[in-house]
Structure 1
Amino acid sequence: MRSLTVFCGSNFGTHPRYSEDAKALGREIARRGIRLVYGGSAKGLMGVIADSALAEGGEVIGVITRLLHELGHMHPGLSTYEITEDMRSRKARMSELADGFIALPGGLGTFEELLEAMTLTQLGEHHKGVACLNTAQFFVPLQGLFAHGVQEGFIKAEHSQMLIVEDNPGALLDALGRWQAPVVNKWIEPAKR
């Protein structure tokens, strides 16, 4: 992996471990010589991971929308940045630049980005691994939702299990490096009625 896109909150969250783990992941990405691609903001966990990767000598690319740039959210110390017209083009560009994806705790945007990356893997539009840093068990409810989707016949087990979930940054990056895309299509044959 040469480049990873990280999705995370533009807020800090209520648990101090969210920032601590964002720092640890940023350092580990930089130490491994992996380029960090993220949403370009200096706010919340987004700023934390960028700061830690930069402090470790890493390359950090920010991809930010014109609106967020005009609102002054741009991180001032990035290696380089790109400004996109909207969120759709921002996500597309972040995907183009990535060999894989990691989500940290975050809000609606983080969930939406994570699920889109998984959906594109499920459909075979890319073969890039998707992982979550499970700080303070943040992603456990999402895993439960996926299990429910399997039980109810909407998700194949292979697709619910393709998401890498680890609580240690090093173990997460190691698992992402070994990841292989599932070789099943997404459609489930209806039960006989």
Structure 2
Amino acid sequence: MNPRPFALCVYCSASTTDPGQLTLAARVGTEIARRGWQLVSGGGHVSMMGAVATAARAGGAETIGVIPKHLVHQEVADVDSDELVVTDTMRQRKQVMEDRADAFLTLPGGIGTLEEFFEAWTGGHLGQHTKPMAILDPGGHYTGLFTWLTELRDRGFVPQEALDRITVTPDLTEAFAALEPQPPQGAVLRAI
């Protein structure tokens, strides 16, 4: 029996039509497939969400889509997913995505993407998981957010350890390197 592939949850826009953002999402899907990883996504077949899933599948990656039933038509459920999970609520969607993922990558997005990112980040900071997190931001989409979060750190509202849990980078290779599967704690790697 083969172990399941490393599963990367990607949070991104389900609304933008910007060609540069769609290309970024497709590059991410292609890289997931190249690495032999599995994609966990929001289960929509529109915008960046659809682009990442389509590219991942085109490269041979398994895809798991998780979508709440009230968005099945709005976000055009990704019926091409290897597994499509339909939840009753948005909260259940986020929980299933978090449970099925080994790491989290955030691409540009709006309030839904931010909500998903902040919930996963907070859970990690509070010790609910130790999964790595990265933000791939080649166009500076999140610059203002992290300027503000740094100000909050300086004012004592956000601990540096929380900020240290996230790799923010404009570089795809660096983002994926930050998300690489980690050996179990206490494991010893030996050269053969």
TM-score range, shorter chain: 0.7 to 0.9
Q: Tell me, in whole angstroms, the C-alpha distance in 2 between the residues paired with 1:89 and 1:46.
A: 18
CA contact (8 A) 1:129 1:176 kept: yes
Q: Distance in 1 between matches of 2:22 and 2:172?
A: 13
Match in the other structure for 1:46: 49
Q: Is the 8 A contact 2:11 2:116 kept in 1?
A: yes
Match of 1:6 in 2: 10
Counterpart residue number, 2:153 = 150
What RMSD, in angstroms, separates the aligned Cα atoms of the two structures? 1.8
1:84 to 84, 87, 100: 87
Q: Is the 1:102–1:132 Cα contact (8 Å) retained in structure 2?
A: yes
Distance in 2 of aligned mates of 1:123 and 1:140: 24
Kindly state the Cα deviation for residue 81 of structure 1 after the two structures are TM-superposed. 0.8
TM-score (norm 2): 0.87
CA contact 2:78–2:84 (8 Å) conserved in 1: no
Q: Tell me whether 1:37 sits opposite 2:45 in the alignment.
A: no
The alpha-carbon deviation at position 75 of structure 1 amounts to 1.4
Deviation track 1:83-108 (CA, whole Å, cap 9, x = no partner) reads 10000000000000001111110110
CA distance in 2, matches of 1:96, 1:87: 14
Residue among 129, 134, 137 paired with 1:134: 137
Identity %, equivalent residues: 34
Unaligned runs of 5+ in 1: 181-193
| Contact 2:132–2:178 (CA under 8 A) maintained in structure 1 | no
Report how many residues are paired.
Answer: 179
Which residue does the alignment assign to 1:168?
171
Judged with a 3 Å threshold, the aligned counterparts in structure 2 of structure 1 residues 112 and 72 are, in CA distance, closer, same or farther, namely: closer
